Amino acid sequence: MIKKFNKIIAASLAFALLSSCSNFLDRNSLEGLSEDSFWKSEQDAVMGVNTLYHANREFTNSIVMYGMMDDYTDISYQSFATGLTTGVFPANAAFYLDSWGIFFKGVYRANTALKNIPNIAMNDAVKRRSTGEAKFFRGYFYFKLWDFFGGVPLYDTPINVDESFAVRNTEKEVYEFIVRDMTDAYEMLPDTYDASNKGRATKWAALAMRGKAHLWAKEYDKAAADFKELMDKSDRKLFADFHNLFRVAGNNNSEVIFDVQYIAEKGHGIATDRNYGNARGATTGSQRTRPTPKLVNAYEMEDGTPFDFANYKNANGEVFNPNSVEDWKDEASVRKLFEKRDPRMHQSIVVPWSTFVGRGGVSYLYKFPVASTDPNAYVPVWTNGSYAWRKFVETGSVYTLQDNMPQNFPLVRLADVILMYAEAKNEALATPDQSVYDAVNAVRGRAKMPNLPTGLNQEQMRERIRHERMVELAGEGQRYSDIRRWKIAKAVVDKVWMTDFNGTQIRQRGFPDHYYLWPIPQAERDVNPKLTQNPGWE
């Protein structure tokens, strides 16, 4: 479990400012050490590998919340205008440069560890594990680079500045590099850890990431085989309480395969309550990210039929116009609108006339129109017609550090793996077999939703799997990669208006053709002219 942070500073590039959390990251300061005086002991090896966890946390926490990558899709949006949502981000935007820098910093640290650990006299099991962690993270950081930037230079040693002017490797070469690292990591890493090392990468995390690499590369049989092995042989189980999966009470649960860990300590928590949270929460969040009406409308009826305003009648049996402000003032009709829906909707999102346990442990009722002067009414930050996240937002008043919640953030969990298995298997077959149905139904069953109808063809099953990923993984940052790899991002995002739930337009979104890949940061190209630019960003 996470207990304490220490700042770890080393003079070499491998040890830029470090601040990480967990028993396994609780180490003495490295300040003042040079690389020549480091990498001498088992403790040095463990400390060096721990820097990789920090680099991973840095992207999750300091660029944007990882889950807020969904804001660049059709299911949530940034409350404040950003170029990546409106389609006008320039190639020299700091967002791209910072992300590139974090990932390659992680690659450098991994390579430094892999160079030095073999020469240290230390416990064989710890050496093997530490080497496996370095392989895992090098492959993981390259997966993120591949996902966002496409082909990038491959480095397998801790190069100096003079050696860094390499050309971009092909996407296939990067994919194959990731697979090799994850295969090595799978063979070296343990399947579980004791309590003092909770949060370290396991062989199952490596297997899941190798499967993801295969899936992204459309190697469907290989992806399905990896996911199936994890489902059959690991100790990971679907966690019964979907709501608590995304609260502090659910930290280190049976479903999480790999996550980023946090504690309630200034500088060492995660800012979910600020960015996902609302004005009635204990930390008074900003609702920087908000679910879209499209996401809320995507949650099925509890009998498995799609929700559709065309089939919905208000409390008086009349047509309900979702773009009419007046219709949304009808309490009885709006309450009816959100009844008998997929339970994940209420577990993930605060909708009108639902309750939220907020500041002081009070159960606040979301009245609409918003009753701003009622002390017992839920008041969102955005009062004109806004849904709000319940996912990743703590209830009550136990935690009050707005930017430092002790909520671990899942990067890979079993439901995601199960749905990726269903996708890979469905794509590999002409017609979905029973294992595809069983996988999707397992995720739906946890949500207490009925099984899929039988007799689906491949295309129909594909759409059901994509729908299931959208509602199951909402707010977790997975959809941004999904809609890009499926090549549907432009269709579902470009020129679409962000709106309040009553149809009021906020701003128009943009997803130009070249947004499927991020630009190679211009500052990197200025330093290394061999780096070619991605199409459309010149």
Task: Check: CB of residue 8 under 8 Å from CB of residue 182.
Answer: no
| Cβ neighbours of 194 (radius 10 Å) | 9
**Count of CB atoms situated within 10 Å of the CB of 441:** 18
Q: Using one digit for the tens of pLDDT, what is the confidence trace for 156-183? A: 999 877 777 899 999 999 999 999 999 9
Q: In which residue ranges of the chain is pLDDT below 70?
A: 1-36, 62-66
How far, in Å, are 148, 152, 231, 391, 442 from residue 446 at the CA level?
32, 40, 15, 17, 6
User: In this predicted structure, what is the pLDDT of residue 273?
Assistant: 86
| Residues whose CB is less than 8 angstroms from the CB of residue 88 and which lie 6 or more positions away in sequence, other chains included | 510
Report field, pTM of the whole predicted structure over 0.75: yes
What pLDDT is attached to residue 398? Answer: 86
**8 Å CB contact between 168 and 153:** yes
Amino acid, single-letter form, for residue 420: M
Beta bridge partners of 497: 508
**CB-neighbour burial class of residue 82 (10 A; exposed 0-12, middle 13-18, buried 19+):** middle
The per-residue pLDDT for 272 is 87
For residue 369, cis peptide bond before it (omega within 30 degrees of 0):
yes
Identity of the residue numbered 484: R
> Helix 171-188 crosses helix 124-149 at what angle (to 10 degrees)?
160
∠ CA(17), CA(82), CA(519), 5° rounding? 70
Q: What is the pLDDT of residue 283?
A: 86
What pLDDT is attached to residue 19?
A: 32
Reading the block at residue 146, the tokens are 């591949």
**pLDDT for position 16:** 34
- Residue-range domains of the chain with CATH: 38-189+520-527 (1.25.40.890)
User: Which parts of 150-193 fold into alpha helices (H)?
Assistant: 171-188
pLDDT for the residue numbered 456: 98
